Structures are given as structure tokens and as C-alpha cells.
């Protein structure tokens, strides 16, 4: 690994507790990799209710935008008029069944959260998903809402990512000054939302390439939180 790449990994870690006083985590692709499961669940919903066969690739443009848009964008593509919120509720019901015992935390998640808490950083969680998915994911990966000063779901803000609303609300509730906040994201929509909120953004390449995340405005990129921990 080149010195430049090492520095890109270490920069956010070195600033934790100095210019960065709080960390706001996205959930999917940051704490856990739930995208394959929600795509499977939504695909099964489309097949069950509309006799439509969709692929995981169909959902990719809508990653990070919340399940309304996640399934709504695919419905538009195929000319399907959804029955909402019933179709979303069914998607979540399937999702909760299939993640049990299968959804795992991404590398370094537990240790990174523990290190942030050790350093006295304020932690918040902001996901475009609904609360049922937030709670289900945290339970499966062994984290609790009490670890975070605020947990914000997509249903609590009107405008979803790439608008900054969810990160600003997380910062407000957790009492983190936006300029002193680090957002950890995996999707371009989330990176754009963080930058629009006036926050710094660390992009994890769990879902998109470093180049895509940098183009969206990421200040740093890393493969996962385990790699970031190496710079602490």
C-alpha cells in the first residue's frame, strides 16, 4: 500500500477527538451489508404481488435513498403502480425473516464504535431506512440504540438523501456541531448529503468504488472500518 493510500486511511482517525467531535454513521454498507437482503426481499415482493422478475442490479441506482424510493424506482422502471405502504410493509416482513442469523457486522464495526466511545466522541446513527429495519439490523449485528446519542430513520425526515436533512437532524438531536461531525457513508447519495450538511465524509468502498465516492465529495475513502482503525 502506498504512503498516499495509508494517509487517506489515517486522516479521519487522526482527527477524531480534535477537530472531529462526533461521528454519524449510515447503517447499510457501513455497519452491515444489508443491501443483498433488502434487494432479495423486494424482489420476492415484486414476484409475489406483481408476477414481476427483477434483478438486484435494478435496485442499485436507488441504494441509500430509503425503501420508498428503493422499491418505487424499480416500480417506475417496469411501469408498476405500487400499493403503498402495504408493498413496503411486505418487503420489510420478508426482509426480517431472511436476515435472521445471516446478517453480520462489517469488519471492524464493534471495535471502531468502542474506540470512538473510549475517545469521548458523540455517536449518532442516520439511515434512510424505516425504524423497523434500523432496529432489526442493530439487533442482528449485536449493537443497541443506546450506544448512540441519536438514531434517526428515514421516516423522520421529509427529504431523503442526497438532501442533508437526515444528517442535520441527527446532529441536532445528538448536539454535534455540523462542522465538527464526521459522516461515515458508503453511497454517493449519502456522501452528497453529508457535504450539503457542511460535514466531512468518510466513504467506505463496501458498495461503490473509491473513485465514485470521491466524485460525490468524500474527503477520505477506506475499504471498511477495520482498515480505518489501523490508523488510530
Q: Please state, rounded to an integer, the average pLDDT across all residues of the chain.
A: 90
| Cis amide linkage into residue 162, ω under 30° from 0 | yes
* Statement: residue 59 has pLDDT above 60: yes
Give the pLDDT mean for 29-55.
94
State how far the Cα of 120 lies from the Cα of 139, in Å rounded to an integer: 24
CATH H-level, domain 3-33+104-229: superfamily: HAD superfamily/HAD-like (3.40.50.1000)
Q: Are 202 and 190 spatial neighbours (Cβ–Cβ below 8 Å)?
A: no
Exactly one of 28, 58, 68, 186 is catalytic; which is it? 28
- With contact defined as beta carbons under 8 Å apart, do 144 and 70 qualify? no
**Structure confidence at residue 62 as a pLDDT band (50, 70, 90):** confident
Check pLDDT > 90 for residue 14: no
Rounded average pLDDT over 169-184: 97
Q: What is the pLDDT of residues 73-124, one digit of tens each?
A: 999 999 999 999 999 999 999 999 999 999 999 999 999 999 999 999 999 9
In the three-class reduction of DSSP (H, G, I as helix; E, B as strand; rest coil), residue 42 is classed as helix
Nearest 5 degrees, angle CA 145-CA 147-CA 152?
45
Contacts of 194 (CB under 8 A, 6+ apart): 24, 164, 167, 183, 185, 200, 201, 217
Instruction: Pick the more confident residue, 16 or 224.
Output: 224
Does the pLDDT of residue 174 top 60, yes or no? yes
Please determine, for residue 12, whether its predicted confidence score (pLDDT) is greater than 70: no
Strands, sheet with 200-204, edge to edge from the N-terminal-most edge strand: 150-152, 122-126, 22-25, 181-185, 200-204, 220-222
Instruction: Please indicate whether residue 40 or residue 229 has the higher confidence score (pLDDT).
Output: 40
26 catalytic, yes or no? Answer: yes
Confidence of residue 4 (pLDDT cuts 50, 70, 90): very low
In angstroms, rounded to a whole number, what is the distance separating the alpha carbons of residues 88 and 85? 5
pLDDT the model gives residue 107: 95
Domain locations in the chain as residue ranges: 3-33+104-229, 35-99
Per-residue pLDDT, averaged over 145-168, amounts to 94
Does 3 have pLDDT greater than 60? no
Q: Is 219 a catalytic residue?
A: no
- If you average pLDDT over residues 144-159, what whole number do you get? 94
- Confidence class of residue 7 from pLDDT cuts 50, 70 and 90? very low
Catalytic residue among 26, 58, 130, 186: 26
Amino acid at each position: 500500500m502506498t504512503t498516499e493510500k495509508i494517509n487517506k486511511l489515517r486522516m479521519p482517525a487522526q482527527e477524531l477527538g480534535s477537530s472531529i467531535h462526533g461521528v454519524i454513521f449510515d447503517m447499510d454498507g457501513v455497519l452491515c451489508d444489508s443491501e443483498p437482503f433488502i434487494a432479495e426481499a423486494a424482489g420476492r415482493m415484486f414476484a409475489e404481488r406483481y408476477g414481476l422478475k427483477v434483478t438486484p442490479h435494478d435496485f442499485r441506482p436507488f441504494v441509500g435513498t430509503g425503501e420508498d424510493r428503493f422499491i418505487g424506482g424499480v416500480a417506475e422502471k417496469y411501469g408498476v403502480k405500487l400499493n403503498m405502504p402495504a408493498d413496503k410493509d411486505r418487503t420489510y416482513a420478508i426482509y426480517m425473516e431472511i436476515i435472521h442469523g445471516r446478517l453480520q457486522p462489517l469488519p471492524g464495526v464493534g471495535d471502531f464504535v468502542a474506540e470512538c466511545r473510549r475517545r469521548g466522541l458523540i455517536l449518532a446513527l442516520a439511515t434512510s431506512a424505516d425504524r423497523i429495519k434500523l432496529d432489526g439490523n442493530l439487533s442482528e449485528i449485536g449493537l443497541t440504540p443506546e450506544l448512540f446519542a441519536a438514531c434517526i430513520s428515514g421516516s423522520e425526515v421529509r427529504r431523503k438523501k442526497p438532501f442533508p436533512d437526515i444528517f442535520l437532524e441527527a446532529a441536532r438531536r445528538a448536539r454535534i456541531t455540523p462542522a465538527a461531525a464526521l459522516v461515515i457513508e458508503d453511497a454517493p447519495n449519502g456522501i452528497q448529503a453529508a457535504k450539503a450538511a457542511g460535514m466531512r465524509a468518510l466513504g467506505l468502498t463496501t458498495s461503490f468504488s473509491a473513485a465514485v465516492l470521491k466524485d460525490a465529495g468524500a474527503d477520505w475513502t477506506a475499504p471498511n472500518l477495520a482498515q480505518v482503525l489501523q490508523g488510530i
